[in-house]
Amino acid sequence: MKYLLFIFVGLVHLLSLGSGKAIYGNGTSQRTFQEIKEEIASYGDAAKAIINLAVYGEAQNRSYERLALLVDAVGPRLSGSRSLEKAIQIMYQNLQEEGLENVHLEPVKIPHWERGEESAVMLHPRAHKMAILGLGSSIGTPPEGITAEVLVVTSFDELQRRAPEARGKIVVYNQPYVNYSSTVLYRARGAVEAARVGAVASLIRSVAPFSIYSPHTGIQEYQDGVPKIPTACITVEDAEMMSRMASRGARIVIQLKMGAKNYPDADSFNTVAEVIGSKYPEQVVLVSGHLDSWDVGQGAMDDGGGAFISWEALSLIKDLGLRPKRTLRLVLWTAEEQGGVGAFQYYQLHKANVSNYSLVMESDLGTFFPSGLQFTGSDKARAIMEEIMHLLQPINVTQVFRCGEGTDINYWIQAGVPGASLLGDLYKYFSFHHSRGDTMTVMDPQQMNVAAALWAVVSYVVADLEEMLPRS
């Protein structure tokens, strides 16, 4: 019965969109969808101006060149590091010098972890030095390291079935890569599940669809009441090799050394700049990416690109002399990689004004040529976003997908604010994700131009519409 009711309500909704009847309830608007479509269509010239400036005009390659200048000078930007704070101060100065409005830093406390020296050496059945990357917040080993036999498993279920074999061993996970959201659970929970069955350390096959002997780091989580054991990622190649060895009955012994340390929380900042709204300055469209990264590579792709196309969106709008009715706010988050730490503190500080946020946007899945926009919101808001994306026909990026997301904007989405994220080549993204390969070499200036154009058009139009995006 509930299923039939859902279908009926959906059909009524679709008919209301097509017939031009008012689509907003509770007296919030009497405008028809046809009127809203016509309003959005009127932004065609502005959208073309943004696209021409970003993709073909004087601003082409600007986001790429700005990013290269930062990451070549500063390098990776781990939470709690001096390099992150240096990057924040550089961005604060850059945003001020550009003449953006209300440029300021909002203080937050963030985790401070350092990996130190680390190594893993197979001692038996042959000598082999392995490439590893310790996982964020992992404890270190004793100075002499941990030398133990290995138990290779392909899943948490197999680990439970073989729990008696795990005591005193190093658990190696050789889980297959299915997709990031499901496979990353092994990185997040691998140490805890191994510790529950008495293991002394855990090594996790890197969460990546492709590898050229490249370990991928990331955050992991301990649990109260479960012993903390050292944990690191190894390459896909070494995980598969040890799995083959174990299947032949070979005894595998590894010596693991990790100098990882956790320190008290450090002082840091979210970086904020605005184009203040002309008519409803208290209302906000937020565009964002995170400035922190892991401590390997340059953090160019994750998430320098997302941060810099968000900056570029404001730059393009300012260059064209456009001023939307609502405030367009840029936030460069800190400590996203540790679980959205900076973003959570921003939400706590600003959540009293949640009703004034029309849309929150986060780019954190790469700035390769976009497939379209992911969106979470009401059906009414989705219909509006689909019309806005039609304005991007000149660059052939018009699709609206489900499930807009992002670690840093999910707090707002859960509070009912519509959310959008940029969707691109996820296979390429996760091949370089959290690895030494995340450098400017991965980035493509022309693809960044297109991503920036999309980001600027969507944020500007939503910020300038007469009404905020409707909620459920």
Point out the residues that are catalytic. 336
Under a CB-based contact definition with an 8 Å cutoff, are residues 95 and 103 in contact? yes
Work out the angle at residue 297's Cα, subtended by the Cα atoms of residues 133 and 128, and round it to the nearest 5 degrees: 35
Cα-Cα-Cα-Cα dihedral of 290, 294, 300, 302, to 10°?
Answer: -50
The H or E element spanning position 360 is strand 357-362
- What DSSP element (H or E) covers 283? strand 280-290
Residue type, 153: V
Identity of the residue numbered 356:
N
230 cis-preceded (ω within 30 degrees of 0): no
d(CA 36, CA 22): 10
Encoded tokens for 307: 């941060």
CB 133 within 8 A of CB 286: no
H or E segment to which residue 146 belongs? strand 146-153
In order, the DSSP letters of 65-128 are: HHHHHHHHHH----TT-HHHHHHHHHHHHHHHHHT-EEEEEEEEEEEEEE--SEEEEEEESS-E
CA–CA gap between residue 253 and residue 236 (Å, rounded) = 18
Burial 29-60 (b: 16+ CB within 10 A, else e): beebbeebbebbeebeebbebbbbbbbebebb
From residue 435, alpha-carbon distances to 157, 227, 235, 280 in Å are 28, 28, 11, 43
* Helices of type H across 148-179: 156-161, 163-166
Backbone phi, psi, residue 237, to 5°: -65, -45
Query: What are the percentages of helix, strand and coil residues in the chain, rounded to 5?
Result: 40, 25, 35
337 sits in the region (left: phi over 0; alpha: psi -120 to 50; else beta) called alpha
The sign of the torsion formed by the CA atoms of 384, 390, 395, 397 equals positive
